[in-house]
Structure 1
Amino acid sequence: MRILVFANTPAHVHLYRHAVDRLEAAGHDVLVLTREYACTTDLLDFFGMPYRVYGTHGTDSYSKLRFARELGGQFVTIAREAVRFDPDVIFGRGPYAAYAGTLTRAPVVLVLDDEPGDFNHTVSRPFAETILSPAVTRRDLGEDHYTFEGFKECAYLHPDVFSRDENVREFLGVDPDEPYVIARFNALDALHDTDIEGFSPHQRRDLLERLSEHATVFVSDEGGEMDLRDLPARPYDLHPALIHDAMAEASLLVADTGTMATEAALLGTPAFRYRGTDSHEYGEFQELERAGLAEQFDEYVDVRKRSLEILADDDASARWQRRRQEYIDDMMNLTELLVAVAEARGSIDRLSPATRQTVQPVRRETARPEQ
């Protein structure tokens, strides 16, 4: 079989990387189509995934007009690569996967979460053979929509596939018992980030100064624009593939971005997310809050205050790890499902009875319909 995968962001690389390994080991041909965005191709190289680049998406002053101008060229490249590869099934999300599926007449599997990307969902779902999403998102994307217990991040953070690198503290240059915090600042340049504001420049500086009074602070700045020379913080400068190992050892992750907050929570690290002007209610965060693994804040002063409280709480790390152990044991290893769906050419009906039981059609009486 030939499986085409769209990995447009670093998170997408992590989502599919174990499945790609498994499929290639089983003798299938896999091709990843990607774009130059943040550290996406760095991760693909690190994990040895077979890929080709169809375009670029910047993180600095990247306007909608520029994106529109480049979109035509990206679709031309996608068309050429997809037709040449002639896939049996396609994995992805949004218009890219839908377009490739239309051209090649291959079934499309969309793996979605609860981001407010109504445009992406609207244009892609009519072309999908199967749509998969976590049950906690409570979306209703039609008759071909199925849910699984867990999160997209369970494809790479489930205990069956993740084990931390014990050398990460040495790589970071921190002592075995030295507390450290990761502050993650979003570039807010994606389509679903339109008109959203996170930490302001003043708030970033204030947060780093206050956190540094209690712990070593590492900054992961997606936009790459922060000047830390006069601030008591270090840039997170390990290879991006080690970020989950670093988060697993951290005393706290505080961020204005969603994916890394979810990841930290599933690793058992206190994860605090500042919403800023983002009013969307994410099913994943609501679930993680209920489990006591993540917290969200509408006001900057509240996230700062709570962060300092946690750093002063000697039992916080152990408490979060206990909660994580109790919670994640019931989550499924999503990689297993992705491999099974790929080998079933995107059809839920072709899954084995045991695998078929791990997905459920959306319960229409509880789901939130798409507009």
Structure 2
Amino acid sequence: MNLLFDIGHPGQVHLLRNAISILKSRGHEVTVTVKEIPNAQKLLDAYGISWLPLGRKYDSLLLKGFSQARYNYRLWKIAQDRKIDIAVGSSITIAHASLFHRMKSILLDDDDAAAVRLFSLFAHPFADTVLSPSALAHQRKHRRDVVYAGTHELFYLHPSRFTPDPSVAEKAGIDLSKPYFIARFVSGKAYHDKGERWITLEQKLRFVRMLEHYGNVYITTERTIEPELEKWQLRIAPELIHHLLSFATMFVGDSQTMTSEAAILGTPALKCNSFAHKLSVPNMLEDKYDLCYAFQPEEFILMLKKAEELLGMADLKQRWIKKRERFLSDMIDPTAFLVSFIENYPSCGHNHHRKENLV
């Protein structure tokens, strides 16, 4: 088959890279498109994935609207030239382009509709299939919807896809025999982040200084870091951060994705932002599996106290490893599921729950 994967965010490189590799190895022709997002393009290069540009990505909601028509046309043209059969991604563009092309569109969406209203409104109705984690089954009721037992982070952090490498920490100058902490602070520039609240600089400093009583602190950020935090900044290739997360004593921050990544890797994770308690997949990780904890900005002191409570446990990591094992026993390898879903499309069927890996 002729397949196309569209990338709209660095995290989507991780989400799709294993499926891209497997499908290529099975003889499928795979095209990857990406907007002008330097971090995403660098990740694709780091994984040896060739790509075609779709154009500049804008932070302004107004400019996003104007540029979407250009993305649609460019992707449609690529689909025409390369005779694409199926397009895959967390992408409005593939849904729109498939309306004017014979290719089928498969969307991957792990967000609640209320959190990404525009995506739900302008992508879902035009897609042939929407794949979502089963934590969203209560919302995904249309015939186009398929839910599976997994999360987006498991596409690249399932044990079948990822093995932590201690040498990464050693090369970064981190002593694995001593406690250390990873912190992540986001830019908040995505359209669905508008009007949301994050950890303030004062709160970041307070948390980091508290953690320093227990071990070294390393901060990773997707933007220029505040001068006050530079002394803790971790400079490492983004494709290597998951190795450090796996061995860390704890993760703290305001990043949705990295909180889930740490939790799934068996590292206690605490986040503080105004999305706390509102999103189905993170709520599942917290409420059902007790792997992470979310706090509203006004609950920052509770977050601080929770971290201190956890750090008082002598067997903290061992407890989280057991919780992770329970979580994994309920989940599938979603990359294997996606590959089989694509190769057997459309006979996989719709409006049902997938627990099996299919391959």
TM beyond 0.5: yes
Q: Which residue of 2 is the match for residue 294 of structure 1?
A: 292
Q: What per-residue deviation string (whole Å, max 9, x for no partner) do you get for residues 162-189 of structure 1?
A: 1011212212212131211111111111
C-alpha distance in 1 between matches for 2:43 and 2:242: 13
Asked if the contact 1:9–1:38 (Cα under 8 Å) also holds between the matched residues in 2, the reply is: no
C-alpha distance in 1 between matches for 2:234 and 2:310: 21
Distance 1:70 1:126, change over 3 A: closer
Asked if the contact 1:265–1:294 (Cα under 8 Å) also holds between the matched residues in 2, the reply is: yes
Q: How far did 1:63 drift?
A: 2.8
Counterpart selection for 2:240 from 239, 242, 245? 242
C-alpha distance in 2 between matches for 1:303 and 1:356: 35
Give 3-state SS (helix, strand or coil) of 2:93's partner. Answer: helix
What is the identity, as a one-letter code, of the residue corresponding to 2:79?
A: A
How many residue pairs are counted as aligned between the two chains? 349
Counterpart selection for 1:81 from 68, 71, 78? 78
Give 3-state SS (helix, strand or coil) of 2:246's partner. Answer: helix
What is the identity, as a one-letter code, of the residue corresponding to 1:297?
A: F
Q: How far did 1:342 drift?
A: 1.5
Q: Which residue of 1 is the match for residue 105 of structure 2?
A: 108
Is residue 335 from structure 1 mapped to residue 332 from structure 2 by the alignment?
no
C-alpha distance in 1 between matches for 2:303 and 2:38: 26
Aligned pairs for 1:172-183 within 5 A: 172-183=172-183
Aligned pairs for 1:128-139 within 5 A: 128-137=127-136, 138-139=138-139
Structure number with the bigger relative contact order (C-alpha 8 A, sep ≥ 6) is 1
TM-score of the aligned structures, taking structure 2 as reference length: 0.90
Q: How far did 1:228 drift?
A: 4.4
Aligned pairs for 1:244-283 within 5 A: 244-275=242-273, 277-278=274-275, 281-283=278-280
C-alpha distance in 1 between matches for 2:181 and 2:261: 15
C-alpha distance in 1 between matches for 2:282 and 2:140: 18
C-alpha distance in 2 between matches for 1:40 and 1:14: 10
Q: Which residue of 2 is the match for residue 169 of structure 1?
A: 169
Asked if the contact 1:108–1:128 (Cα under 8 Å) also holds between the matched residues in 2, the reply is: yes
What is the identity, as a one-letter code, of the residue corresponding to 2:116?
A: G
Give 3-state SS (helix, strand or coil) of 1:91's partner. Answer: strand
Asked if the contact 1:110–1:131 (Cα under 8 Å) also holds between the matched residues in 2, the reply is: yes
Distance 1:255 1:45, change over 3 A: same
Q: How far did 1:9 drift?
A: 1.1
Q: Which residue of 1 is the match for residue 118 of structure 2?
A: 119
Asked if the contact 1:214–1:312 (Cα under 8 Å) also holds between the matched residues in 2, the reply is: no
* Unaligned stretches of 5+ residues in structure 2: none
Q: How far did 1:223 drift?
A: 2.4
C-alpha distance in 2 between matches for 1:324 and 1:283: 18
Q: How far did 1:95 drift?
A: 1.9
Q: What per-residue deviation string (whole Å, max 9, x for no partner) do you get for residues 48-106 of structure 1?
A: 11211212336xxx333443454444334333323222210011234211122123221
What is the identity, as a one-letter code, of the residue corresponding to 1:99?
A: H
Distance 1:162 1:95, change over 3 A: same
Q: What per-residue deviation string (whole Å, max 9, x for no partner) do you get for residues 120-154 of structure 1?
A: 12222222222111111232251121111111222
Q: How far did 1:339 drift?
A: 0.7
Q: Which runs of 4+ in 1 moved over 3 A?
A: 65-76, 355-359
Distance 1:280 1:4, change over 3 A: farther
Structure 1 stretch displaced more, 153-162 or 259-268:
153-162
Is residue 318 from structure 1 mapped to residue 311 from structure 2 by the alignment?
no
Give 3-state SS (helix, strand or coil) of 1:119's partner. Answer: helix
C-alpha distance in 2 between matches for 1:31 and 1:244: 26
Q: How far did 1:108 drift?
A: 0.8
Give 3-state SS (helix, strand or coil) of 2:147's partner. Answer: strand
Q: Which residue of 2 is the match for residue 140 of structure 1?
A: 140
Q: How far did 1:12 drift?
A: 1.0
What is the identity, as a one-letter code, of the residue corresponding to 1:242?
A: L
C-alpha distance in 1 between matches for 2:63 and 2:355: 45
Give 3-state SS (helix, strand or coil) of 1:139's partner. Answer: coil
C-alpha distance in 1 between matches for 2:116 and 2:156: 23
Asked if the contact 1:247–1:253 (Cα under 8 Å) also holds between the matched residues in 2, the reply is: yes
TM-score of the aligned structures, taking structure 1 as reference length: 0.88
Give 3-state SS (helix, strand or coil) of 2:13's partner. Answer: helix
Q: Which residue of 2 is the match for residue 15 of structure 1?
A: 15
Give 3-state SS (helix, strand or coil) of 1:167's partner. Answer: helix
Q: Which residue of 2 is the match for residue 365 of structure 1?
A: none
